[in-house]
Structure 1
Amino acid sequence: MSRIAYDPVKDRFANIIRSSKFLRRIFYFLLDLFFLRSWHIRKILWSVGKKIDRKGEWQLLDAGSGFGQYDRFILNAFGNVKVTAVDVKEDYLRDAGHYFSEQIKDGRIQIKKADLLAFKSDEKYDIIICIDVLEHIEEDVKVMQNLSALLNPGGYFLMHSPSHYSEEDAGDEESFVDEHARSGYSKEEISDKIIQAGLTPEKVHYTYGFWGHKAWVLSVKWPMLWFNKLGMIAVLPLLIYYPLVLPFTLLMNLADLYSVNQKGNGIYALAKK
């Protein structure tokens, strides 16, 4: 059964933007525009981070930083934050190091290779984010326990992952979940695991609900399929396709952002120590 090769598609884009900060800024903009999880995560970070930022210097850990898109948002949004970004992929870290070279010199961000099962730090953090990472790790509770130990009392842990409802997509030939250790979490499961990690869940919410899922299919899933089949030739039809569908998908994302979804293909949890 053929499957979407999701990581190779992301890596293809990474190769294109690798040497250009300008192209990387465009790439970050597109990630924030098209991926609904970014809408939810930035909304929560803005709300929680503003309260902390007013008090002076504070520390944030991006556990599984990937391309570094959230680090860019955080550094731009908060003047008093210092970020530590860790990941296991050396090429992603190297590229992020190039993009954030000025912020590294200023001491606003550190970029490190780390296994989240073993990561230790002398720093204590006020916020730890772990976005679309835990679904890749078998020992997810151990990771959350490790991260919990790095939080200051009163600090926040924010995660996002596919939900157990994403199993509904897992059976077709266009699934994105081949590289996952699990298909996703229910509200009850992630709440229980957060409690096992010594944290108190504050809000657990489904993302990619009715409207969000439709927006994802139109703006992400179908274009990814085309890139898998056609490579960069897919850019040509997409130049016609996106102007037609983008206004509708953005409205759908906005509807998801402010909906109380009873179910959805994604899930986030905000917890406090």
Structure 2
Amino acid sequence: MSQIAYDPVKDKFAGLIRRSRVLRSLFYSLLDLFFLRSWYIRSRLRSWYGREVVQVEKSDSRLCILDAGCGFGQYDRFMLHAFPGTRIDAVDVKQDYLQDCTHFFRGDIDAGQITFTQMDLLSPSLSKSYHLVLCVDVLEHIVEDVRVMRNMQQVLKPGGYFLMHSPSHLAEDDADGDESFVGEHARAGYSREELSDKFRAAGLEPVDIRYTYGWFGHTAWVMLIKWPMLWLTRLGFAAVVVLPFWYALTLLPGLLLMSLDMVGENRKGTGIMGFARKPAP
């Protein structure tokens, strides 16, 4: 988990999978498998849903979720499958990503389960309120991050939750001084104390703030993500020839390390996940 620039490689993959449902579905599965943050986020989402759905069913309403910075839409796909009946509004600043998502999720859009809208989180135009706002690897790109958190707090229902993930303040060394792999971020990341303070400044009550990508997870990330991403960035898709052999050696050890990272709580890590609540009156 680091400041290595993912966007150039992500944009290349986006072009490859743009009009293929099969390739896009495979891409989603690979993101869920290889990125430990997805393991953490999906685990927290399941835990939240298990508690929240009971309360919503009692009130005879429908769970509403805002995906603030949806990217490829991988978490939207997960939530639509795992949380039946949920309504999702997904927003992002990248029009091309939104167009691709609109094409892939056309059936869900027509069924009234999800919408995709271009929106700047610094000045959002949202008329609804939500049980949950999801914001994964977005805030580190925005200078006025507390302003965004405050905007998200304002569209949460009383007692609603804000779930985010970002690099931590310990991630800045991972680019090894190579400036071609940094520069996308407005900050290195957050410490637990800083994130807690920013939650409170935005009117949110911290519920759980934990480091992700501890020693086990970070080691797996170096093997499964960092080095392959560096090769792809420097060598282009010529690196694809080497990657199958690399992953044949590293995949199983890497997945084991990722599993170990989620056991217990990391004292430090290069990622951080924050879960906060809007106070109920």
Fold match (TM-score > 0.5): yes
Report how far residue 175 of structure 1 moved.
Answer: 7.4
TM-score (norm 2): 0.93
Q: Which residue of 2 aligns with 1:42?
A: 42
Provide the aligned length of Structure 1 versus Structure 2. Answer: 271
Among residues 94, 97, 100, which one is paired with 2:105 in the alignment?
Answer: 100
Alignment partners' CA distance in 2, 1:5 and 1:109: 29
Q: Residues 70-123 of structure 1: CA distance to partner in whole angstroms, max 9, x if unpaired? A: 000000000121000000000000000001000000000010000001113121
TM-superposed deviation, 1:173:
2.1
Structure 1 residues 148 and 72, CA gap change in structure 2 (3 angstroms): same
What's the CA shift for 1:52? Answer: 2.1
Contact 1:136 1:179 in 2 (8 A): yes
Cα deviation code 1:129-164 (max 9, x no counterpart): 110000000000000000000000111100100000
In the TM superposition, residue 170 of structure 1 has moved relative to its aligned partner by 4.5
Q: Which runs of 5+ in 1 are unaligned?
A: none
Find out whether 1:133 has 2:138 as its counterpart. Answer: yes
Relative to the length of structure 1, the TM-score reads 0.96
Distance (whole Å) between structure 2 residues aligned to residue 257 and residue 247 of structure 1 = 16
Q: How far off its partner does 1:171 sit?
A: 4.7
Name the residue aligned to 2:150. 145
User: 1: distance between equivalents of 2:126 and 2:43?
Assistant: 27
Q: Which residue of 2 aligns with 1:118?
A: 123
Instruction: From the superposition, tell whether residues 225 and 85 of structure 1 become closer, same or farther in structure 2 (CA, over 3 Å).
Output: same
Shift of 1:51: 2.1
Q: Which residue in 1 is equivalent to 2:218?
A: 213
SS in 2 for 1:149: helix
Residues 1:98 and 1:79: Cα distance change in structure 2 (over 3 Å): same
Match of 2:168 among 163, 166, 179: 163
Letter in 2 for 1:25: S
Give the aligned CA root-mean-square deviation in angstroms: 1.4
Gaps of at least 5 residues in structure 2 are none
Matched letter for residue 143 of structure 1: V
Corresponding residue SS for 2:67: strand
Inter-CA distance 256–189: structure 2 relative to 1 (3 Å threshold)? same
Alpha carbons 1:53, 1:80 under 8 Å: kept? no
Distance 2:180 2:212 in 1: 18
Name the % identity. Answer: 54
Residues 178-231 of structure 1 show CA distances to partners (whole Å, capped at 9, x for unaligned) of 210000000000000000111100000000110100000000011011111222
- Corresponding residue number in structure 2 for 1:53: 53
Deviation sequence 1:43-68 (CA, Å, 0-9, x none): 00010012223434110000000000
- 2:207 — aligned with what? 202
**Pairing 1:88–2:93 present:** yes
Distance change (3 Å), C-alpha of 1:178 and 1:268: same
